[in-house]
């Protein structure tokens, strides 16, 4: 059975969580946390690298001990170190970690101070009012815990889009190699580029003699066969991801792809348009009475109801039908439209590669420029730069640009927004930069008014170009902080600065609804990778997917501009 990077990362993430609950050496915890991030963004499967005899210790951040554990997980599917920790701590603690807002630090307090180690015990403690008395909690946190437990009870397990992709793409490649298979397409929420995916829907067109269903249920990552039939089968992978495979005829492929891609609300809206024309639309085609009239392609389905083809990412019934009817659908931004990346880190702070290596990798990804934006001094955990070291890096970038060909490195910083809205570095160094990205990295629990005012004051600083990961959320790990995003977007318009769409798969922040809001207010969005290593530029594809869900066209995105067009836009924010 294949072991994917996501599987290894999940093991290391649990080890890090349990070590933190045990109050282990923080450097040891951090090593596992870094390994998780490295594995999640690694461009190649670690299992394939091992099979080819590659030395994993050559991956920056992966030492001999971690490389050995990766090999162990690939070989056995498990890890002795994790099993040892699981025996030392109550098994229910892992369930607590899955609640939004409950990281290992809070779980450690609950475990040591209240002897809470199951969801039921936590629910009882919160209901009895014992949680808010703990240090670092309070009445609001206690209420949030109660609400999260109740929501968690009926919640399906979902996978981050990039994680689901690690399982989807090899499976699609496997199906494409089966004899008699003519076409394979992913549908569902994955095709709509949703931030998280509950299951995978796959459609195939295959000859009657094709053994596609037999081969599908025999796929080496299948843990359980839920059902198997001649046209539909459902399996559960070892990763717990459910996959539905449907075999359709070529003349129905477009209708099925439309049916299994769109949200329920979108599909109902299209069917109603069909009913108004005397048509019946389902997964088998478009029919006038009993007569088949369309369905081989999605375009034919949309044309039958008087609409142009609607991009999958928009099929949520959030205005796309009306826009298509009025011929006002945007021509959505594509990955090929991006000319640069304005949020990149190097090993000068918490990145893994050098300036030159990041520049070369960006060029290999087809980019024409990048901005190096290290963390500022306030973020000590990331070894943030003080003025002296930032001045030195600016000089280093100037020297490097004299040697580079086909790629330009811009000078920037990801500067912490302090509690009072000031920036973490003085104007004397910020004025030397091409851009300044402000970021909230602390005090996430401020009230809506205080958090909003804090960010607005930062945007009013003389040298402020862009707001990084504007909502602060980490998918499934940290809820967005409470902030008046419309007020921030309108202030950005007035101030002439920009918002980031952070493409890291754990963030995908700006949310799609805020992308659309920014577009309507005329505020440009920059789709940035937040790259910490050379493979992280691959994450731009997920940022583009999120931008497309937010209705963004090429002209709505700052970094689709050429460097020549970009520079005046950046200078306009720098004093």
Considering the domain 253-325, what is its CATH architecture? Answer: 2-Layer Sandwich (3.30)
In the structure, what pLDDT confidence band is assigned to residue 502 with cuts at 50, 70 and 90?
very high
- 250-276 mean pLDDT: 96
CATH superfamily of 335-571: Metal-dependent hydrolases (3.20.20.140)
Give CA separation, 127 vs 142, 155, 318, in Å. 8, 21, 38
In the structure, what pLDDT confidence band is assigned to residue 90 with cuts at 50, 70 and 90?
confident
- 175-186 mean pLDDT: 97
Residue 241: what pLDDT? Answer: 94
What token pair was written down for 98? 């899955």
Q: How do the residues of the chain divide into helix, strand and coil, expressed in percent and rounded to 5?
A: 45, 15, 35
Residue 345: what pLDDT? Answer: 97
What is the greatest pairwise CA distance in the chain? 77
Q: Is the pLDDT of residue 1 over 70?
A: no
Residue 382: what pLDDT? Answer: 67
Return the SS3 of 456: helix
- Helix axis angle, 139-153 to 119-127, nearest 10°: 140
Give CA separation, 12 vs 221, 299, 361, 435, 485, in Å. 20, 45, 27, 36, 35
In the structure, what pLDDT confidence band is assigned to residue 125 with cuts at 50, 70 and 90?
confident
Query: Are 275 and 232 in contact, with CB atoms under 8 Å apart?
Result: no
- 502-515 mean pLDDT: 95
Residue 266: what pLDDT? Answer: 96
Give CA separation, 171 vs 61, 166, 202, 229, 246, in Å. 29, 9, 10, 19, 14
Q: Where are the domains of the chain?
A: 5-153, 159-248, 253-325, 335-571
Query: Are 574 and 434 in contact, with CB atoms under 8 Å apart?
Result: yes
Whole-angstrom Cα distance, residue 490 to residue 153? 38
Give residue-wise pLDDT tens across range 397-429: 999 999 999 999 999 999 999 999 999 999 999
Residue 379: what pLDDT? Answer: 77
Give residue-wise pLDDT tens across range 286-304: 999 999 999 999 999 999 9
Q: Is the pLDDT of residue 506 over 70?
A: yes
Residue 575: what pLDDT? Answer: 65
Strand partners, 409: 370
Backbone angles phi and psi of 499, in degrees to 5? -115, 145
Nearest Cα residue to 251 out of 213, 292, 210 = 292
The two counts, helices (H) then strands (E), for the chain are 24, 17
Residue 421: what pLDDT? Answer: 95
The secondary structure of 352-387, three-state, reads CCCHHHHHHHHHHCCCCEEEEEEEECCCHHHCCECH
- 234-247 mean pLDDT: 95
- At 110, which helix (H) or strand (E)? helix 104-114
Nearest Cα residue to 395 out of 360, 425, 433 = 433
Give residue-wise pLDDT tens across range 427-466: 999 999 999 999 999 999 889 999 999 999 999 999 999 9
Residue 143: what pLDDT? Answer: 86
Whole-angstrom Cα distance, residue 88 to residue 150? 28
CATH number among 3.30.360.10, 1.10.150.110, 3.30.210.10, 3.30.365.10, domain 5-153: 1.10.150.110
Query: Are 242 and 236 in contact, with CB atoms under 8 Å apart?
Result: yes
pLDDT, mean over the chain: 92
Whole-angstrom Cα distance, residue 572 to residue 575? 7
Strand partners, 224: 236
The number of beta carbons lying within 10 Å of the beta carbon of residue 271 is 16
Backbone angles phi and psi of 197, in degrees to 5? -125, 130
- 58-65 mean pLDDT: 88
Nearest Cα residue to 532 out of 63, 73, 36 = 36
Residue 137: what pLDDT? Answer: 84
Give CA separation, 505 vs 17, 151, 228, 544, in Å. 20, 23, 33, 11
What token pair was written down for 227? 């059902």
Query: Are 530 and 507 in contact, with CB atoms under 8 Å apart?
Result: yes
In the structure, what pLDDT confidence band is assigned to residue 156 with cuts at 50, 70 and 90?
low
Query: Are 215 and 204 in contact, with CB atoms under 8 Å apart?
Result: no
Q: Is the pLDDT of residue 101 over 80?
A: no
CATH number among 3.30.1490.100, 3.50.50.60, 3.30.460.10, 3.40.190.10, domain 159-248: 3.30.460.10
Residue 457: what pLDDT? Answer: 97
Whole-angstrom Cα distance, residue 397 to residue 395? 5
Give CA separation, 317 vs 144, 174, 263, in Å. 31, 33, 8
Lowest mean pLDDT among 49-53, 70-74, 124-128, 327-331: 124-128
């Amino acid at each position: 059975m294949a072991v994917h990077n996501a599987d290894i990362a999940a093991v290391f993430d649990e080890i890090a969580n349990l070590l933190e609950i045990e109050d282990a050496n923080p450097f040891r915890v951090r090593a596992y946390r870094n390994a998780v991030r490295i594995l999640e963004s690694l461009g190649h499967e670690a299992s394939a690298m091992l099979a080819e005899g590659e030395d994993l210790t050559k991956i920056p951040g992966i030492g001999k001990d971690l490389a050995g554990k990766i090999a162990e997980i690939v070989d056995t599917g498990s890890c002795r170190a994790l099993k040892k920790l699981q025996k030392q701590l109550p098994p229910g603690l892992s369930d607590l970690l899955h609640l939004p807002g409950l990281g290992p630090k809070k779980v450690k307090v609950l475990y040591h101070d209240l002897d809470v180690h199951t969801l039921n015990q936590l629910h009882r403690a919160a209901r009895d009012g014992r949680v808010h008395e703990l240090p670092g909690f309070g009445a609001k946190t206690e209420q949030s815990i109660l609400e999260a437990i109740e929501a968690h009870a009926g919640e399906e397990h979902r996978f981050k889009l990039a994680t689901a992709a690690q399982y989807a793409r090899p499976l699609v490649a496997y199906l494409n190699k089966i004899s008699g298979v003519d076409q394979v397409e992913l549908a569902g929420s994955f095709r709509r580029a949703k931030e998280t995916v509950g299951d995978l829907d796959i459609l195939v067109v295959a000859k009657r003699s094709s053994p596609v269903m037999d081969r599908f249920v025999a796929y080496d990552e299948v843990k359980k066969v839920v059902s198997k039939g001649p046209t539909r089968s459902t399996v559960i992978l070892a990763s717990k991801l459910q996959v539905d495979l449907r075999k359709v005829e070529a003349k129905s492929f477009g209708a099925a792809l439309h049916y299994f891609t769109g949200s329920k609300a979108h599909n109902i809206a299209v069917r109603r348009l069909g009913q108004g024309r005397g048509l019946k639309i389902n997964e088998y085609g478009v029919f006038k009475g009993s007569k088949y009239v369309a369905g081989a392609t999605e375009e034919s389905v949309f044309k039958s109801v008087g609409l142009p083809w609607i991009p999958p990412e928009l099929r949520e019934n959030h205005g796309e039908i009306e826009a298509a009817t009025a011929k006002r659908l945007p021509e959505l931004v594509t990955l090929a439209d991006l000319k640069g990346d304005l949020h990149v880190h190097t090993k000068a702070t918490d990145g893994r590669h050098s300036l030159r290596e990041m520049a070369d990798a960006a060029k290999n990804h087809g980019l024409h420029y990048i901005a190096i934006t290290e963390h500022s001094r306030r973020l000590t955990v990331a070894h943030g730069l003080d003025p002296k070291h930032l001045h030195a890096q600016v000089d280093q970038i100037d020297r490097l640009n004299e040697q580079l060909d086909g790629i330009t490195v811009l000078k920037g910083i990801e500067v912490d927004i302090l509690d009072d809205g000031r920036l973490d570095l003085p104007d004397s160094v910020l004025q030397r930069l091409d851009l300044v990205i402000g970021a909230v990295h602390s005090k996430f629990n401020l009230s809506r008014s205080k958090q909003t005012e804090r960010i607005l004051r930062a945007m009013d600083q003389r040298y402020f170009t862009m707001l990084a990961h504007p909502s602060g959320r980490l998918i499934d790990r940290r809820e967005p902080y409470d902030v008046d995003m419309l007020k921030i977007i309108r202030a950005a318009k007035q101030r002439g600065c920009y918002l980031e769409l952070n493409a890291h798969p754990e963030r995908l922040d700006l949310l799609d609804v805020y992308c659309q809001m920014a577009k309507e207010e005329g505020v440009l969005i920059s789709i940035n990778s937040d790259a910490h290593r050379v493979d992280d530029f691959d994450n731009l594809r997920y940022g583009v997917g999120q931008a497309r869900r937010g209705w963004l066209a090429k002209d709505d995105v700052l970094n689709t501009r050429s460097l020549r067009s970009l520079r005046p836009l950046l200078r306009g924010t720098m004093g």
